[in-house]
A = this chain, B = another copy of it.
Amino acid sequence: MAEIRNADTRERILDAAERLFMAYGYDGTSMRQITGEAGVNLAAVNYHFGSKEALIQEVFRRRLDWLNEERMRVLDRHEAEAGGQPVKPSLIVDAFFGTLLRMAEDEARGGMTFLRLLGRTLTEPSEFIRAFLAHEYKTVMDRFKEALFRALPEVPKAEIVWRFHFMLGATSYAIAGTDALRLVTDWQIEEEDSVDRLDRLVPRLMSFLLGGLRAPLPQFAAPVTVDRG
């Protein structure tokens, strides 16, 4: 046969799982679907990864390790260029969300498939997945929160955390794909604006995120006494 047998069973499984988890979710994808699409034996997943849970963790680790390191590298670069001064919020947002979105153009690193999987999974019900992701993200999250705290010293930290959260949500939806967008529109957005046009989505989303991040601070209704700095 043209293809080597043993060659990359693991990779074939990971690719199939990535695509299927993206399309049908974790619970909605069966081992038989995965191994069927990968063209390997049903038992191969348990042999190579141990369990379905360990499989999806590996699906994420394979991509997230690089992504989060790249985010750090970009932020490092911006901080070096700022030379002690706080990095501009737009650059921090770009280092975090822009790096993520640019990953979509890199098919060798999962491209849109992984991005949509990630977007979908952040709201996935399964507890252990969220716990795993929270652990994987901890370091990079702390780093970016700190950068934003320094970049926006006049904004309360709780406010920044919330807005980071909102930005994550908007981004997840944006990349989770056409399906969710169909809830907003059924007039197919003209071809030049289709979801596949990432070069248009990125600046669109960036404008929105920065607009939200820099919005005027909310006025709380209740006249609370200022008990904290």
Q: Is the CB of A161 within 8 A of B174?
A: no
**Least distance between A181 CB and chain B CB atoms (Å):** 5
Q: Tell me which of B124, B173, B193, B210 contacts A172 (CB under 8 A).
A: B173
Q: Is the CB of B218 within 8 A of A134?
A: no
User: Chain copies in the assembly?
Assistant: 2
Q: Is the CB of A211 within 8 A of B216?
A: yes
Q: Tell me which of B23, B169, B204 contacts A218 (CB under 8 A).
A: B204
Closest to A172 in B: B169
We find that the number of chain A residues with CB closer than 8 angstroms to chain B is 72
**Least distance between A146 CB and chain B CB atoms (Å):** 12
For A174, the chain B residues whose CB sits under 8 A away are: 162, 165-166, 169
- Summarize A's interface: helix, strand, loop or mixed: helix
For A184, the chain B residues whose CB sits under 8 A away are: 141, 145, 161, 164-165, 168
Q: A145-B185, A183-B141 are in contact. Are A166 and B125 (CB under 8 A)?
A: no
**Least distance between A188 CB and chain B CB atoms (Å):** 11
Q: Tell me which of B126, B200, B207, B219 contacts A25 (CB under 8 A).
A: B126
When each residue 213-226 of chain A gets 1 if its CB lies under 8 Å from chain B and 0 otherwise, what string results? 11111111110100
Closest to A122 in B: B180
Does chain B have a CB within 8 A of A19?
no
For A126, the chain B residues whose CB sits under 8 A away are: 25, 28
Does chain B have a CB within 8 A of A137?
yes
Q: Tell me which of B125, B166, B182, B212 contacts A134 (CB under 8 A).
A: B182
Give the interface of A toward B (CB within 8 A).
Answer: 23-25, 27-28, 119-120, 122-126, 130, 133-134, 137-138, 141, 145, 158-159, 161-174, 176, 179-186, 189-190, 192-193, 199-201, 203-222, 224
8 contacting pairs across A/B (C-beta < 8 A): A23-B125, A28-B126, A123-B123, A141-B183, A200-B220, A207-B216, A211-B215, A212-B215
